[in-house]
Amino acid sequence: MHRSRLTLDPDFRIGAVDERLFGSFVEHMGRSVYTGVFEEGHPTADEDGFRTDVLELTRELGVTTVRYPGGNFVSNHRWEDGVGPLADRPTTLDLAWRSLEPNTFGLNEFMAWARKAGVEPMMAVNLGTRGTSDALNLLEYANHSSGTRYAELRREHGVADPHDILLWCLGNEMDGPWQMGHKTAEEYGRLAAETARAMKRLDPRLSLVACGSSHADMPTFGAWEATVLEHTYEHVDLISAHAYYEPLDGDVDSFLASGSGMDDMIRSVVAAADHVGSKVRSKRRINLSFDEWNVWYQKGWGGEDSLEWTERPRLIEDVYDVTDAVVVGSLLMTLLRNADRVSVACQAQLANVIAPIMTRPGGPAWRQTIFHPFALTARHAKGEVLRTEPETPRTETGRYGEVPLLWTTATLDRKNGEISLFAVNRDRTRPMTLETSLKAFPGVRLVEHLVLADDDPTAVNTEAEPDRVAPRTVVPTRPTDGVLTTELAPSSWNLLRLAYDSPATGRGPA
């Protein structure tokens, strides 16, 4: 059995937990929208055609922010096609996913859905086939109160009050040659800067995200960020990062270490941003919006050219197993570990398309395995992130080199006297004993230990067996002399909830 040790202390503070870290993504792709969040005539559909079973699962998942309408979709999208009377909306060709788009669900429908789901919208503008003028028209339609062309158009469409969307993406993956309107870093940087200046002139409240690299293996990774930020540094607030993970060539050990790969990527983007900040002598600091991340089995994806022109095709509806859930949990932990520099994050996507929620048209919705670590982290990661520096064995991986077998992070809710310790044992065969020093927390006790693991790491949840994989409770142990000793199963994601006698509230939660 492996042995690891770590110390938790309230002075080991990284940064506050930003609620926007628990974001998701709804793109007009496959069945994410149609028969995902929206299905008129479904037994659970409400008066707006929204599937209430998906709404309930979205709330349970703990999603705080949702990016819309893309993704690759946005780079060929005309937002005007999705507003106004349904009879006047055209069916259009979506070049990103070679799909027929009926435009039944557009901006106003999304905003109505977002209000019901209780999430903040994150809107993307088309800087691929369109540009600054169209971005301003969309912003005026969405956020201006009345008395102007596009504000009055919104009111004619039955939406009297402005949507007040404050978080905006300046295009999507513009470094990618697959993107409609793909640009060089110089071309995109100039356009993004011009658009950002104009949008903030219209509405100074906005937070704007410039496009970073599509993934860390892009040949321009790092250089792209530096060039784009040299143009935009004083005009944007965040730079995006995107990453997807899968076990390549059967290398499960590297797959389980994906959190280390994400950690390296974050550090690289931060270094590029801070370099530009120093170069332009700015007092501002650019943080990251990690607005696409997940496990995605891309080797099984035939690519856009393999698609036929059809409406709501079944695209990349990956079914996730236990190992996938452990990796998703570790990626969330990595985002928290970088809470001082990652301000927004969106798991792609919410429903059906590489998603925690699956649906059958006309039928039920159910939780995939990856639903559980996200929901529990969103529910219990509150307050501040604490730095954890465990003493743990290390192992060599093919993709990421030498990595620690124990991956951890922790959050401290001083107001309620609660600590949440998240831990992953990356070893696939051997359990791990973890000794956690909690001597800085008076009266500390273990409230709950939840584990996501299974004797069959390939087990999945399906419509027939929706609860085959779920977190289970481990009989809690008591700290002895301020040290908690717990056992972590092989290839497992763990949540240890602790309470202590908080000076703010007295005795913490039971």
Q: Is the pLDDT of residue 301 over 80?
A: no
Of 260, 269, 274, nearest to 426 by C-alpha is 260
- Phi–psi pair at 23, nearest 5 degrees: -90, 165
Tell me the per-residue pLDDT of 376-428, one tens digit each, with 9 for 90 and over: 999 999 999 999 999 999 999 999 999 999 999 999 999 999 999 999 999 99
Structure confidence at residue 506 (pLDDT): 55
Domain boundary among 380, 413, 445: 380
In terms of domains, do 313 and 439 share one?
no
Mean pLDDT in residue range 290-301: 92
Edge to edge, the sheet with strand 483-488 lists 2-7, 432-437, 483-488
The three-state secondary structure class of 244 is: strand
Q: Is the pLDDT of residue 220 over 90?
A: yes
In terms of domains, do 374 and 390 share one?
no
Which residues, 6 or more positions from 230, have their beta carbon under 8 angstroms from its beta carbon? Answer: 189, 276, 279, 280
**At 303, is the pLDDT very low, low, confident or very high (cuts 50, 70, 90)?**
confident
CATH value at residue 401? 2.60.40.1180
Domain boundary among 380, 410, 438: 380
C-alpha 351/C-alpha 346 separation (Å) is 13
C-alpha 173/C-alpha 98 separation (Å) is 18
Number of domains into which the chain is organized: 2
Q: Which residues are catalytic?
A: 173, 292
In terms of domains, do 240 and 334 share one?
yes
CATH value at residue 368? 3.20.20.80
Which residues, 6 or more positions from 266, have their beta carbon under 8 angstroms from its beta carbon? Answer: 241, 288, 290, 334, 338, 341, 342
In terms of domains, do 92 and 181 share one?
yes
C-alpha 294/C-alpha 327 separation (Å) is 9
Residues 24, 349 contacting (CB under 8 angstroms): yes
In terms of domains, do 364 and 488 share one?
no
Mean pLDDT in residue range 297-314: 83
C-alpha pair distances (Å), 105 with each of 79, 168, 252:
11, 19, 39
Structure confidence at residue 508 (pLDDT): 47
Q: What is the DSSP letter of 293?
A: E
In terms of domains, do 209 and 67 share one?
yes
In terms of domains, do 375 and 398 share one?
no
Q: What is the CA radius of gyration of the chain?
A: 23
In terms of domains, do 391 and 467 share one?
yes
In terms of domains, do 281 and 368 share one?
yes
Q: Are strands 65-68 and 92-94 parallel, antiparallel or unpaired?
A: unpaired
pTM above 0.85, yes or no: yes
Of 96, 103, 95, nearest to 72 by C-alpha is 96
Structure confidence at residue 510 (pLDDT): 43
Tell me the per-residue pLDDT of 138-174, one tens digit each, with 9 for 90 and over: 999 999 999 999 999 999 999 999 999 999 999 999 9
Long-range CB contacts (< 8 A, 24+ apart) of 233-236?
A: 233/276, 233/277, 233/280, 233/282, 233/284, 233/286, 234/280, 234/282, 234/284, 235/192, 235/193, 235/196, 235/197, 235/200, 235/208, 236/170, 236/192, 236/196, 236/208, 236/209, 236/210, 236/286
Mean of the per-residue pLDDT values for the chain?
Answer: 96
Of 451, 453, 454, 455, nearest to 494 by C-alpha is 451
In terms of domains, do 334 and 423 share one?
no
Domain boundary among 325, 354, 380: 380
In terms of domains, do 36 and 83 share one?
yes
Least confidently predicted of 33-42, 283-292, 305-314? 305-314
Q: Other CB atoms closer than 10 Å to residue 68's CB: what's the count?
A: 30
C-alpha 448/C-alpha 455 separation (Å) is 22
In terms of domains, do 360 and 248 share one?
yes
Residue span of the structural domain in which 231 resides: 19-380
Phi-psi region of 401 (alpha: psi -120 to 50; beta: other; left: phi over 0): left
